[in-house]
A and B are shown apart, each in its own frame.
Chain A
Amino acid sequence: MRPRKYHTSAITDSMFKKETNRKQETVKVTLDGESRELQSGISVAAALLADGQIVSRISPSSNKSCAPHCLMGVCFECQMEIDGVQQQSCMVQVEEGQEINRRLTGSEAEKK
């Protein structure tokens, strides 16, 4: 089965707004090969949601997009490759220079 193409840009209108009077600090990360500035001091999953990036990965079993569900380390839906290791992104703090790969397009099946 050919995986579907995902138009992730279509679903990046943020579902969340930031409600704070604190000064916002950011870090620069590489997200799927592109440089991106994310809010610092929070988990990778939270920082991506704040940035309007809802889709966290493509399920290897169903080939459909997944998004963070529990945000407390239970569901593994937010699992993605962070600095070369598959990790639950809700359990990892976002850091300057991090390389985050969600592999939303160009899955192994598509390359073949």
Chain B
Amino acid sequence: MIKVYDAVVIGAGPAGISASARLAEMGLQVLTLDEQQRLGGQIYRNIQESSQKTRDDMGDEYARGIVLAQRFENSGALYYPRATVWDIESDGCVYFSKDHQSEQIRANYIVIATGAMERPVPFPGWNLPGIMGAGAVNNLAKEAELTPDCDVVLAGSGPLLLLEASLLIQKGVNIKAILETTPKTPSIDAMLKVFPALKRFDFLKKGLKMVGDIKKSGTPHHKGITNLRAFGDDKVERVEANNGSTHLQFSTDMLLTHFGVIPNTHIFRLLGCQMAWHREQRYWYPQIDKWGRTNFDHIFAAGDGAGVKGALTAEYRGEIAALEIAHCLGIIPTYERDQLAGPIENELKHDDYPRPFVDAVFAPSFSKESFDDETVLCRCENIKIKDVRKAVGEGVREVNELKIVTRCGMGPCQGRMCGPAMAEVVGAELALSPDQVGVLKIRPPLKPIPLGEIADMEIETAGAGQADLFKNQSK
């Protein structure tokens, strides 16, 4: 018999932790599956074992995770770290691999809280060793207390790029330059959105302080740069870019890139969830109702995976999803659900005031000129931008067709690193918006696992009941 839970929560970042804790606190049987070694997701990575120094460096936003993790541990939710979900069905069946063994379980309700990832943006040389995501170095600091000990250039766009820059400056890292692709002057649209953001002056003040710290440090900071490119033999040695008509060049040992954050949607696409397109931030996210319910009644989405809004909102949305699930399971009546959800919804509203402004200021924009023919688009299969353009020229109009024709997106990462840019390249070629050229279909396993693990697994299929009955009769 496979195990059945009231609720299975996938992911143990802020959304997953708060959803699990709330459900377990209400007496439900909850299993929390998380791919990582320890609680916290990316934002609260290693929160329980991090040193005081790391906590001081990362500030209050990070320290909030301590309380959250404690609450989760006290809640009674069953927690499986190192558990990779590799298949999931809309009827509540979940398959995961943990410590080289795969297991099938069933849940009445599922909360998917698999978070976000850094937007992959290909540029010449982006696959050279020594080029990492800014988030990668942030993770190394939290997990292993490692700090870059060499010349660093930061490039890209978004608040997290500036945050990482100010963290590294504070640690005394030698930053050769910050190269921002964000336009020098914000759009009129962004300017108009500053008004609701003013309601969160505390938030804006933090941002201004960050920018002020960077300025004070004297670190060269170029805005509105274009044509970012990296060169090197076995690893990155030189970074170049254009600033208007000025040519910029820096020798460096490390290039940290960050082009904003997008939801990690593979699991939703595998399920066949209805997806929606974020026009401004140019990403897909699952369509959900106010409780986080997807088009499947028993599948909920919470946190940045359902639309990037940060750790606090993720935590609140986890709670909201948990309340509705408890309501559906008959644990709390409607009025109690609404009573409990009320204050959380107010917090959500409060947290969301600056978001439209931030999304507009750091809105990504891509055109044909953004991508160079010789740049590797698919790192796994070594497919270049020109290969994709050639296929489009020959009449391919959709990304799944393109995958078959070119192998772009067919490697082990299953298009995680090339999918978004592939849609941009095809869209630009055809003068269409990227959401009009399709989205890569995702198939199990979500992450590669040894076939032997599947062979060894005890599986209960829909027809298994009958087959068992037959077996009993023949005895």
Tell whether B448 is near chain A: CB-to-CB under 8 Å: yes
Q: Is the CB of A74 within 8 A of B264?
A: yes
Asked whether A67 lies within 8 Å of B235 as measured between CB atoms, the reply is yes
Chain A 9-20, CB-CB to B under 8 Å as 1, else 0, gives 011001111111
Interface centre among A46, A76, A93 (most CB of B within 10 A): A76
A67 touches which of B130, B253, B380 (Cβ 8 Å): B130
A72 at the interface (CB under 8 A from B): yes
CB distance from B62 to the nearest CB of A (A): 16
B136-A72 in contact (CB<8A): yes
| A62 vs B49: C-alpha distance when bound (angstroms) | 39
Q: Min CB distance, A39 to chain B, in Å?
A: 7
List of A residues within 8 angstroms of B379 by Cβ? 59, 66, 75, 77
| Contact B234–A46 (Cβ < 8 Å) | no
Closest to A39 in B: B144
B143 touches which of A46, A65, A69, A74 (Cβ 8 Å):
A46
B42 interface residue per 8 A CB criterion: yes
* List of A residues within 8 angstroms of B264 by Cβ: 74
Q: Is the CB of B53 within 8 A of A20?
A: yes
User: Interface size bucket, B side?
Assistant: 35 or more
> Chain B 13-36 against A: per-residue CB contact (8 Å), 1 yes, 0 no?
000000000000000000000011
Bound-state Cα–Cα, A64 to B133, Å: 19
- Given A54-B130, A76-B412: A17 touches B146 (CB 8 Å cut-off): yes
Report whether A76 and B149 are in contact in the complex, using a CB–CB cutoff of 8 Å.
no
Which residues of chain B in 292-340 are interfacial with respect to chain A, using CB atoms and an 8 Å cutoff?
none
The contact of B136 among A7, A47, A69, A88, by CB within 8 Å, is A69
Indicate if A42 sits at the interface (CB-CB under 8 A): yes
Taken residue by residue from 44 to 61, chain A's Cβ proximity to chain B (1 for < 8 Å, 0 otherwise) reads as 001101100011000101
Residues of B within 8 A of A59 (CB): 379-380, 382
Q: Which residues of B contact A86 (CB under 8 A)?
A: 448
| Chain A residue nearest in CB terms to B414 | A76
A91 at the interface (CB under 8 A from B): yes
Does any Cβ of A come within 8 Å of B386's Cβ?
Answer: no
Contact status A70-B118, CB under 8 Å: yes
**Does B179 sit within 8 A of A, measured CB to CB?**
no
Which residues from chain B contact A75 at a C-beta distance below 8 Å? 120, 379, 413, 416-417
A50 touching B146, Cβ below 8 Å: yes
Query: Are A15 and B51 in contact (CB-based, < 8 A)?
Result: no
Give chain B residues whose Cβ lies under 8 Å from the Cβ of A65. Answer: 129, 234-235
- For B36, the chain A residues whose CB sits under 8 A away are 73, 91
Residue numbers in A under 8 Å from B447 (CB-CB)? 73, 88
User: Which of B35, B127, B140, B448 is in CB contact (< 8 Å) with A66?
Assistant: B127
Q: Which residues of A contact B51 (CB under 8 A)?
A: 20-22
Size category, A interface? 35 or more
A91 to B99, CA, bound (A): 12
In whole angstroms, how far apart are the Cα atoms of A68 and B411 in the complex?
Answer: 16
**Contact, CB under 8 Å: B136 / A16:** no
In contact, A46 and B129 (Cβ under 8 angstroms):
no
A30 to B170 Cα, complex, angstroms: 36
Let me know if A43 is at the binding interface, CB within 8 A: yes
* Least Cβ–Cβ distance between A1 and chain B, in angstroms: 12
**Min distance, Cβ B52 to any Cβ of chain A, angstroms:** 9
> When each residue 139-152 of chain B gets 1 if its CB lies under 8 Å from chain A and 0 otherwise, what string results?
11001111111100
In the complex, residue of chain B having the shortest beta-carbon distance to the beta carbon of A8: B234
Is A31 interfacial (CB 8 A cutoff)? no
Nearest chain A CB to B220 CB, angstrom units: 21
Given contacts A49-B140, A69-B136, A85-B450, contact A55 B129 (CB under 8 A): yes
Cα distance A62–B139 in the bound complex, in angstroms: 28
1/0 per residue B409-430: CB within 8 Å of A? 0011100110000000000000
Cβ contacts B37-49/A at 8 Å (1 or 0 each):
1000010000001
The closest CB in chain A to the CB of B118 belongs to: A70
Other than the given A15-B149, A71-B135, 20 more pairs (CB < 8 A) read: A7-B234, A15-B148, A15-B254, A20-B51, A47-B144, A50-B144, A54-B235, A59-B379, A67-B129, A67-B131, A69-B133, A70-B135, A71-B132, A72-B42, A74-B117, A74-B118, A88-B447, A91-B36, A91-B82, A93-B37
Pairs across A and B, CB under 8 Å, 15 listed: A15-B149, A17-B149, A18-B146, A50-B144, A61-B382, A69-B132, A69-B133, A70-B117, A70-B135, A72-B136, A73-B447, A74-B264, A76-B412, A91-B35, A91-B37
**A→B interface (CB under 8 Å):** 6-7, 10-11, 14-22, 39, 41-43, 46-47, 49-50, 54-55, 59, 61-62, 64-77, 79, 85-86, 88, 91, 93
The residues of B with any CB-CB pair to A shorter than 8 Å are 35-37, 42, 49, 51, 53, 82, 84, 100, 117-118, 120, 127-133, 135-136, 139-140, 143-150, 171, 234-235, 253-254, 264, 376, 379-382, 411-413, 416-417, 447-448, 450
- Nearest first, the 3 A-B pairs at minimum CB distance are A67-B129, A17-B149, A61-B382
